[in-house]
Amino acid sequence: MKTVEKFLAEKELELTSVARELEALRVVAPVLRDEEDRIGATRTKILLVEGNDDTRNAMRESLERENCDVVSSGTVADGLSEILSQHCFDVLVINLHTQQAGDNSTLLAALRTFQPACLLVAVSDSLTVEQAAVAISLQADAIVRPSNMKEVAELKHWNES
């Protein structure tokens, strides 16, 4: 039979070994998470063009909570610059209420030319017949309410299936 002292000494060695392994995991885990993000779990990249700061910030925060990478622009000109840059977006989100006539067409022409696989989502909190006609003419892939950004985050996966 083992003595109590031997038993306790063995358990202490086991605990020391487990503590070392745990410390190693604490060091390695962040590296593994970064690698997983980089390799497999790609996040939906969204360009959000919204003129109202409060609305833009709320939509951006909502999309980020859905694990999306969001680039937000306050003007169509800034959004156009983002499309023309080296950034590649999965989804472009525009608000039908805040854009001036012709701006959406310019943005969409650039999008379809430089990033043809990018989805176009039109946002409207109270869709009128005229705005629906604009969304149709822009060939929007979806129309959602600003409060329902979860749908936007899920669109990329819908498009892939």
pLDDT per residue rounded down to tens, the chain (161 residues): 568 788 778 878 877 877 777 677 677 766 665 655 554 457 889 999 988 899 899 989 989 988 889 999 988 888 888 888 867 899 988 877 655 555 667 778 888 888 888 888 888 777 777 777 777 777 778 777 777 777 777 776 555 55
Contacts for 12-17: CB closer than 8 Å, 24+ residues apart: none
Domain 45-160 has CATH 3.40.50.2300: yes
| SS3 state at 64 | helix
Sheet holding 142-144, edge to edge: 69-73, 45-49, 91-95, 119-123, 142-144
Query: How do the domains of the chain map onto residue ranges?
Result: 1-41, 45-160
The model's pTM is 0.67
